[in-house]
Each structure stands twice: as structure tokens, then as C-alpha cells.
Chain A
């Protein structure tokens, strides 16, 4: 990662927020700006924040456009443009500004709220509505798109291509859009911005993808062909993407009546030999917990993607948090070993989900993927994720296997699974404790043997380097997971520029824990910062329970939805490096 040189004439990274009330089209314009950045060869990330309204209500598209790839938001926002200021002040804590930031707003909509001007930002009035009126069918959001594109130095043709790609229907609407963008561009030229980006370096193949789409595509690559779905924010887009993708590859999605149904449907499908997945968020995961335990006991592979939002209970449905770690790790009753995997970048939503499918299938066990709203609903310009060499293979019983025992005690703990339709190997899959044949058993010896078998399957996961992203050297380590990895990575790049080296350990395999691998990764480390987005320090407590840590450990945590900013972590690293 190349880093922004502060104060340079051309910037390596610019952050923009476009806000407005419902129907103002801020998400549409934000998506077009991201597309234009991609057309111009930049990297970019767009996250969103919105109020609770179903339709209407305030919303903000938050974009970061840069010459380098990053899944992190920057420390502050350089330009906040508002179509109107109605309730936009509710986002003040999510859109930090500085004295160098620029506020763009339509004077016809009033002055910017004090919550923003109070941060010292300059205000430049821009009559969006009036300008839009100059074009027949013109919209203020398209004028804003042009102005923002111009301010950050995107070429006019990149904006034009983005508009054409988004407004596929063409016709008058597209012509009006293009004309309004041109007006905005002309206005930008009049503004004293200083926000122009350095030239982009075009690289290899890139994708524009959301974390939810990436997880869905990873599931397909892993072989998932059955999905049961119950809508829940912020996982719904994953399910919707799969609904149209699955039939193309011979799979199917069933909309279930509730999460209890969706989890049991995927268990039924997978029992039938078809790799199966569902996606949900915290409230749904809580409902699914009983049946995930059935998957453990009956040894039926399934994958559950939890796109985390703030909790407990309904929490803040539209905003991110990393506080489902405890329920994912410990939420099942009984001793129920299973797999928990967490992606640590938007594109890793693909790889981690594909890996989870493969682990579930090969170990005949449920796997939970802990994504979150930040990754799930972020759209990012990323390098095309490499084709994975990880295969999803379930050990199957052969036709008429002699003296077949579904739950045979084996050295690896894995026993061949008979798929219905296979002659001569009929058995009953059971959540009741059972003998090797699968017949219900209340005997202590069978219980112990099956507990040991199920534990043994997970003891020696062949996970090579996949268990964690381990980056950098030094005697200070930051241990983190999931979306917190993004600001930590950027802080590390800044620290490197200061000549400070540290080690990043971002866990991708949370269960089963990998103490031996962790110990090796931590060799020579004297001090550890644990970074997570949970109020109670769930990840810190998990590390304390499962791993040996050096004497000096600091828990750096906060609840959602406010993200860590790279500079916070950077400063902590600097402070520690000096003491």
C-alpha cells in the first residue's frame, strides 16, 4: 500500500460523503461516482449509512477513492456534499470533518447544521436545485455527482461512462443525467478544492463487488447449490443475489417462513447430499442455534453466514458491530464443536465463505461465517480474488458398503456419509446421541465415543496459512479480526512509513482455535494490542481463554457502529514503539 503524502498537491486518497433525505438519490449518485472512479483506474470503497425509515429519511453514501486498495474508511471526510440537510446532522459522528474539509450544500436548503460547521469545515454554497432546473428532467444528485467527480479530478469521460452504464435504458433520462453532470463539473472548476487525486495506476483485473455478493459468489464456488432464506438486514442482499445466481448453476433458493425453517431446510438439503447455506444476522442466528447443534450431532455439513449488526435484540439493524462472536463460538447447547470463520476484507468475504463451505463439507460439520454490515453492504473496487485451490469434498459411502455404520469411530473422526439414493447403506441421521450405526443410545460409552469422534474431526484441520493473515515483523503485535482488520492494516502502512514495524495477526479461523499456530505467529512478540468492535471485549476474552498471550496486553475496543480510524491505531503503535 502506498501512502498519502499529506499536503501534497495531488492526493492519494480522498473521502467524500454525499447526504440527503429519502428520494434525493444519494445512493444512486454514490454508486455512479464509485463506478466512475473504477473507470478512471482508481480503487474505491463505498459504505452507507441510513436512518430507520423504510423509504425516505436521511441517508449518506460514504466514498473513499484512492490510488491504493483499502477496505478502511479514512480518518475523516474531505468533502461532505448534501442535497439537503434534513436530519443529516444525525450522521455527524459517522462523518468526521476537519478544518480542511469542505461542505457543499444548496443554499436553497438552508445553512449546514452546526454539528458540521462546528468541526471547522469550510462551506461552499452550490445551488444544486437551481442548476438542475437548467436541464429538462435534471436532478440535483446528478449535479452533485458532476461536482464531486470534478473536485477529486475524475476525467469527464469516466463520469460519462459511469452514467451510461448505470442508466441502461438511455433516452431522455440519460441525456438529462449527462447534462446535469456536465453542469456540476463546470461548478467544480470554480471551487478552490485541492482535493484532486494523483494519477491512477491501472493494474490487473479488478472487480466492483459488495461483501454480500462476494460471500454469495464464494459459496457458489465452494459448491453450494441450495439456499434457504429468510430476509433480515443486512444479510438480505446476499440472499437476493443468490436467488438469481443459483438457478443459473442448477441450484435453488427457497424463501422460508422463518429462520427456524431456513436452518432446518438447509440441513435437510445437505442430508440429501447437496451443499447448502443460509445467511442471516444476529437475531436469526439466535433462532438457528438449536438446529446448528443438530448439524453437529447428526454430522450434516451446513454453512451459516452471519452478517453482523449491532445487538442485543433488534439493536441497530442497519449498522455494524462485531458482537456476535460469543454466540457464534459458544451459542450451541451441549459440547458442540463446529467451525467459525471470519473474512477480513471485502474480497475475503468470497474466499472465507468458499473456505467455510469446504471445511463444512470435508469435516461434515456446521460452519458459521462471521461477516458484518460494514463488509456486507460495502461496495469496493478490489483485485480479482484468485481462484482457490481449496476443494469441497464430502466423504461419501459407496453403494452397498459392507456392514455400513454412518457414525463409525475412525481415526480422523470422519466417517463416510451415505447419501439417500445409495443402495445398501440406509441409516437414520439423528440428533439423539447414537451408536456407530446411528441408533439412539443413552449409554455413557456411546456418548463419550461420539463426543470424542466429533471433537477429533476438528483437531487437525489442514488449514495451512488460511487460519490467519499474519503480516509484518516486530515485537509489537496487533491481534484483530473481521472488519477491524481494514483500519489496522492501514495504520500499519502508516507506521511503516514512520519506520515503525509491527506484526498484524488477523484471525480468520476462530473455531476451532489454533493455539500452536498462534504461538508460532507470536514468537518474539512482547506486547499485544487487541482491536475489536465490541463493547465487552468478546474477542479479547476469547483470546484470553484460548491462547497464551505475553504479559503486556491492551484491549482496544468500542461498540458499533463507529469504526476504528487508521490514525487511532497508528498513534497507539507510535506510542508503544517509543516506550
Chain B
């Protein structure tokens, strides 16, 4: 490539680092990574202006697999770190990524409040209904009767419905993707990044090691039969009756994003007047 760096158009591969992922062969997260790099290329972004922020878990390893700025923090707090970054640096494109345990269990409170706060960032959850890094424990999206060593016979708990929660909490863009459809996933992520405010993309991303039965997801998924809506009531009805396999943009809201800081109107030294006698 001879063109100067600042005008070159980058390809998806330019967003992929040379680090070898820790993921198992066949893991859905490989194609999510590919979809993210495609989306960034499609948007004409430069890696230095993009930050990928994550917590802990298999999918949370994703920042270092990109050539962007990355932040791999503590378990469950990715959205908080991403929020601080985006509010302080509104010029950056901020992607927050992670798994269902990180986002819906330990990070559940941040998930709700990030939806409410509506900071202009994109949250990508690679949902495989299991804790993979700790070798197979049930997560909030796991079926109640899924047997495991930690919860023999299943948790008996009803699954968490991330999309309904996101809608109720005020997310401005809600989509479901499937890692087995990389180009569909890439276009949903592209649209999510473009959409102002908090955009949430739930990606069904099978864990072939601990949930091999999820290989059957490719037969279950289908494009959503209806167009996206900006009406939360309609979206709620759809999501409440959804079987978890409808793909596409399911809600596209019009709320104004969280306002970034404005320009300084005072010098720091001016503020001492309020204390001076």
C-alpha cells in the first residue's frame, strides 16, 4: 500500500491483529471478530480512533485480537469502563464486547444503567449460555434444566431475557445476530455503530466445547419476519413472544444520546472567587 496512511482505505484484515486467540476451534467468537473487523472497515474508521473495551471471559479476550486500542478490564465492568472512556473522549468510536456471564450476571446492573444512560457506544454480547473460561457453569441465559457440576440437575431458574431488559431499560438500538452468519452480523454491527446512543447487539455465538448442542442453532435461526420498529410497545410485544432465534434489528429508538462535556468557560483559577473572603 503506497498511499499515505491518513487517506488509505482499510480492509477488514487491517483491523485484525496477529495474536492467536485462546478460543477453541469452532468457537463462534472467531466469526464475531471477523464481523467486527468487517464493520470497522465498512465504516471507513481507522484503528487508532476505535477502542474495544471488555471485561473477563472467553469473548472478552477480543480487544487484543483487533488492531484498535483495547482495554481488557475486570469481570463485569466493561460497560462502566467504556462509558467513562466515551464520555471523556467523545471523538472515539467505542465498542464494548463480552459474554453473557460478564454482561448479564456480574455486570447486570451496569447493563441496565448503560441502556438508561444512552451513551453513544455499541455493546456486543457473544451469548453462548455458558461460562466457558471456567469450564462450563450455567449463566443467566442458560436453560433452567441444563445439568452441570456446579448446579446439578439445572439451576431451575428462568432465563434472563437480555433484549427485553434492554428495551425496558431504554437501549436505543436492539439487534440479534448469529455468529454463523458473519455478513449479517457485520451489517448489524455496522448499523449499531452508526446509530446514535446506546446500541445493543446480542450475538448468538455457540460454545462448541461445553454446549455442543448449540451447533443446531444454525437450523433454528431465521431473519426476523417483521421490519424494525421505533415503537417500544410494539417492540416489547414482539420480544416477549420471541423464541430467541429471530435475527435482525428488533428496535431502533430515537432518544437523544448522553451529552458529552462542553467547552471550558472559566480558567481554573477563576473558581477560587467563591471561597475568597
Question: Could you say which of A205, A266, A269, A273 has the most chain B C-beta atoms within 10 Å of its C-beta?
Answer: A269
A254 CB–B CB distance under 8 Å: yes
B88 CB–A CB distance under 8 Å: yes
- In the bound assembly, the distance between CA atoms of A119 and B74 in angstroms comes to 56
Closest to A228 in B: B84
Q: Which of B70, B83, B91, B109 contacts A258 (CB 8 A)?
A: B109
Q: Which residues of B contact A228 (CB under 8 A)?
A: 84
A143 CB–B CB distance under 8 Å: no
A515 CB–B CB distance under 8 Å: no
A155 CB–B CB distance under 8 Å: no
Residues 266-281 of chain A, each 1 if its beta carbon lies under 8 Å from chain B, else 0: 1111111110100000
**How many residues on A have C-beta within 8 angstroms of the other chain's C-beta atoms?**
65
Q: Is the CB of B84 within 8 A of A217?
A: no
A429 CB–B CB distance under 8 Å: yes
Q: Is the CB of B113 within 8 A of A261?
A: yes
Question: Could you say which of B49, B64, B264 has the most chain A C-beta atoms within 10 Å of its C-beta?
Answer: B64
Residues 80-101 of chain B, each 1 if its beta carbon lies under 8 Å from chain A, else 0: 1111111111011000000000
Q: Which of A64-72, A305-313, A416-424, A480-488 is the interface stretch?
A: A416-424
Q: Is the CB of A420 within 8 A of B92?
A: yes
A85 CB–B CB distance under 8 Å: no
A207 CB–B CB distance under 8 Å: yes
Q: Which residues of B contact A438 (CB under 8 A)?
A: 64
Q: Is the CB of B77 within 8 A of A291?
A: yes
B1 CB–A CB distance under 8 Å: no
Task: State whether A440 and B89 are in contact (beta carbons under 8 Å apart), knowing that A209-B275, A248-B264, A254-B84 are contacts in the complex.
Answer: no
A152 CB–B CB distance under 8 Å: no
Residues 3-46 of chain B, each 1 if its beta carbon lies under 8 Å from chain A, else 0: 00100000000000001000000000000000000000000001
B277 CB–A CB distance under 8 Å: yes
Q: Which residues of A contact B84 (CB under 8 A)?
A: 226, 228, 254, 264-270, 272, 276
Q: How far is the CB of B264 from chain A (nearest CB, A)?
A: 3
Q: Is the CB of B261 within 8 A of A428?
A: no
Q: How far is the CB of A449 from chain B (nearest CB, A)?
A: 19
Q: How far is the CB of B123 from chain A (nearest CB, A)?
A: 14
Q: How far is the CB of B18 from chain A (nearest CB, A)?
A: 10
Q: Is the CB of A420 within 8 A of B81?
A: no
Q: Is the CB of A225 within 8 A of B80?
A: no
Main secondary structure of the interface of B (DSSP, over half): mixed
Closest to A423 in B: B48
Q: Which residues of A contact B117 (CB under 8 A)?
A: 254
Question: Could you say which of B84, B91, B92, B275 has the most chain A C-beta atoms within 10 Å of its C-beta?
Answer: B84
Q: Which residues of A contact B150 (CB under 8 A)?
A: none
A residues 403-457 with Cβ under 8 Å of B? 418, 420-432, 438-440
B263 CB–A CB distance under 8 Å: yes
- In the bound assembly, the distance between CA atoms of A424 and B48 in angstroms comes to 7
- In the bound assembly, the distance between CA atoms of A262 and B81 in angstroms comes to 9
B178 CB–A CB distance under 8 Å: no
B residues 241-277 with Cβ under 8 Å of A? 260-268, 270-272, 275-277
- In the bound assembly, the distance between CA atoms of A264 and B68 in angstroms comes to 20
Q: Which of A213, A248, A258, A432 contacts B266 (CB 8 A)?
A: A248
- In the bound assembly, the distance between CA atoms of A305 and B113 in angstroms comes to 24
Task: State whether A420 and B69 are in contact (beta carbons under 8 Å apart), knowing that A264-B77, A265-B84, A294-B74 are contacts in the complex.
Answer: yes
- In the bound assembly, the distance between CA atoms of A441 and B257 in angstroms comes to 38
Q: How far is the CB of B81 from chain A (nearest CB, A)?
A: 4
Q: Could you list 14 A-B pairs, sorted by A, with CB under 8 Å?
A: A205-B277, A207-B272, A220-B268, A247-B261, A252-B261, A257-B113, A261-B83, A261-B113, A268-B86, A269-B88, A420-B51, A420-B89, A425-B48, A429-B73
